[in-house]
Structure 1
Amino acid sequence: MGKGIGKWIIALIIIVPLLEWYVFLQMIEWIGGWNTLILLLTTSLVGILMMRFEGRKVIEDTKQQMDAGEPPGRRMLDGLCVFVGGVMLVLPGFILDIIGFTLVFPLTRPIYRNLLLRWIEKRMKKGSITIHRGGQ
């Protein structure tokens, strides 16, 4: 892991919980404590259900592509998005829930997939990511 990425991760570990705490307190003021708790639990439950459904769908699509002899690259990235989104939905917090839903939801997931593809392509051009094919 590069030094730049490590700094971003440390910053996120500090900033995200502070933002989530602020939003949580604002929600308590706006809709009340019990309603905030119920909303957090509901978004987690709905998120888990979406993740399970979309995860199965991604796995099935990946199998179909592989059975057809096609590389499942984009489907693998979809699977990564669904997994990361699911983790975000399970963690408490409204900001993470919003990002998690957009990662899991099929209409917004391509945004993240395209960002990941560009990031991977950029790293491959720089030579910081290499692909090794087994058996060749």
Structure 2
Amino acid sequence: MFIAIPLLEIALLIKIGQAIGFWATIAMVIGSAVLGTWLLHKQGMETLRRVLTAMDDGKPPVEPVLQGFLLLSAGLLLLTPGILTDALGLILLIPPVRELIVRYGLKRLFVVTVSGRSRRSGPAADATRPDVFSEAEDTGPRGPAGPETREPRQRSPLGGGPVIEGEFERLEERTIDPRRTKK
């Protein structure tokens, strides 16, 4: 892919150069690079302003950051010489296209808010709530346990499995190896 895209870009530049002329093609490539540079500067400052405004309003700046990332990507694509990268960069400049991409990206996040509380899904679902108990049946090497042995298990705060309770004794540094301890 890293080899195919530049080769395709070169082939397209040659074809367009044959169709509209060498100097027109060079002007188009340089013009898109200038547009990309200007866009990076202008939209970078605008994105920073929107992020700060969202934070001042007490809202998470997720949408302005994603919009800024897409505009940065558009600018970088316009800076890159080539017809395909310029076309993709111009497509990312269209606000409704960016809105669709941002909305799709936000839907893909896995934090769901239900009645004022957030609930995560995935492997670390209960990582932030150590008080969550699992009501699932205990499965071991021999299969599910019967209903008589079914008890809620407390999850580890880090989501790494059940909490194992026990007692411990703190050892001093000089008594770590019991064979070297003098009595």
Larger deviation: 14-23 or 74-83? 14-23
Using the alignment, how far apart are the partners of 2:123 and 2:26 within structure 1? 47
Structure 1 residues 95 and 87 mapped into 2: Cα distance closer, same or farther (>3 Å)?
same
User: Helix, strand or coil: the match of 2:59?
Assistant: coil
User: Helix, strand or coil: the match of 1:21?
Assistant: helix
Instruction: Write the mapping of 1:53-68 to structure 2, written as runs, cut at 5 A.
Output: 53-68=42-57
Larger deviation: 46-55 or 92-101? 46-55
User: What is the match of residue 93 of structure 2?
Assistant: 104
Instruction: Write the mapping of 1:24-103 to structure 2, written as runs, cut at 5 A.
Output: 24-103=13-92
Using the alignment, how far apart are the partners of 2:122 and 2:9 within structure 1? 35
- List structure 1 segments (4+ residues) > 4 angstroms apart after TM superposition: 118-121, 124-128
In the alignment, structure 1 residue 17 sits paired with structure 2 residue 22:
no
Structure 1 residues 28 and 58 mapped into 2: Cα distance closer, same or farther (>3 Å)?
same
Consecutive unaligned residues in structure 1, runs of 5 or more: 1-10
Deviations, residues 39-58 of structure 1 (Å, cap 9, x unaligned):
11011112222232222222
User: C-alpha displacement at 1:78, in angstroms?
Assistant: 0.8
Q: Is residue 47–residue 101 contact of structure 1 (8 Å, CA) maintained in 2?
A: no
Q: Which has the higher helix share?
A: 1
User: C-alpha displacement at 1:93, in angstroms?
Assistant: 0.6
Deviations, residues 4-50 of structure 1 (Å, cap 9, x unaligned):
xxxxxxx2x12211221121111111111111001110111122222
**TM score, norm. by length of structure 2:** 0.55
Structural RMSD (CA): 2.5
User: Helix, strand or coil: the match of 1:108?
Assistant: helix
Highest CA radius of gyration, 1 or 2?
Answer: 2
Q: Which has the higher contact order (CA 8 A, sep 6+)?
A: 1
